[in-house]
Structure 1
Amino acid sequence: MSKILVAYFSATGTTAKAARAVADACRADLFEIKPAQAYSSADLNWTNPQSRSSLEMKDPDCRPALAFKTADLTDYDVLIVGFPIWWGVAPRPVDTFLDSIQTDGKRVIAFCTSGGSDSSEAFKDLKSRYPQLHVESVKLLTSSRAAAQWVRSLDI
């Protein structure tokens, strides 16, 4: 059986709930990708072009500082990364995390949560910006039940 880490970013708790469901379903360890400065409601206001999240997402090179040192993946065979979709792609704190890890020889799979977007753009974006990760897929999860079904389909 594979040793699995579920690393996730969640600004409002939705993705955290999905990450716990995924981790429970595959008996994985959890690691929260937590920004050094938490996002306020005003920061997450996507209708305000000057909000923190809007400004970060306009800058593809933005890498917000994280609160914790990155995860040590040495003992893991599989990394599952979870995030909400922001502007069609993974939020910048996820980029900070992905830039800081070594995934040589590991399976990398991702899931996302969304209020309306599908996962296709997020998958294309991860594949193009992080080709070294060999991300297998990005699955949009809408419930704990969907998370458990998805994990069973992964052969991990």
Structure 2
Amino acid sequence: MTKKILIAYYSWSNNTKQVAKKLAQALDAELLELTVKSNVFSTDMYETSKIAKTQIKTGFFPELMTKIPAMSQYETILVGSPVWSGAPATPIHSFLAQIANFKGKVATFYTDAGSVGAYGEIFKTWAAPLTVVSIYHKEKDILTWAKEVIEK
């Protein structure tokens, strides 16, 4: 039986979306774009960063508009996110909270325009109690990384 893979991602500027699509095609994985209402974030990167920092500080994370499928059908979930001020985008927190009972492997990849900061540590904190098996690091080819995650 083939290992069923889901690539769930949030993309603010389409960079993460492009990476997620390429991975899905190469890995024969299903894609799930995580979306929020159009008025949640600004089109300005710095304003969006401020909004996200406030969401993290207050614990009021954005509601996802995406219908989440039954996670039990997947063995591995690769979660893609832009890096916002050294953290995953806040819709990722909302997604991870909704899949907290998932029993398979979870790994994360990111796109960034600068410093990755504490992305990995924050992702792991947000993902608890999920089994996070890997966090992508830019030094490695992303497709090679993803294949290694799936084969673990």
> What TM-score, normalized to structure 2?
0.84
Match of 2:129, SS state, is: helix
Are 2:52 and 1:56 aligned? yes
**CA offsets per residue over residues 12-59 of structure 1, 9 Å max, x none?**
0000001011112211000001112254423x3x2xxxx244123233
Percentage identity across aligned positions? 26
- What displacement does 1:103 show? 4.1
Cα separation, 1, equivalents of 2:43 and 2:113 = 16
Cα separation, 1, equivalents of 2:64 and 2:126 = 20
Cα separation, 1, equivalents of 2:49 and 2:31 = 24
Are 2:118 and 1:121 aligned? yes
The residue type paired with residue 66 of structure 1 is: L
Contact residue 3 and residue 78 of structure 1 kept, 8 A = yes
Q: How many aligned positions are there?
A: 147
- The answer for the alignment partner of 2:127 in structure 1 is 130
- The answer for the alignment partner of 1:90 in structure 2 is 88
Are 2:65 and 1:67 aligned? yes
Over aligned residue pairs, what C-alpha RMSD do you find? 2.2
**Structure 1: 4+ residue segments shifted above 3 A:** none
**CA offsets per residue over residues 99-119 of structure 1, 9 Å max, x none?**
11144321001100111123x
> What TM-score, normalized to structure 1?
0.82
Gaps of 5+ in 1: none
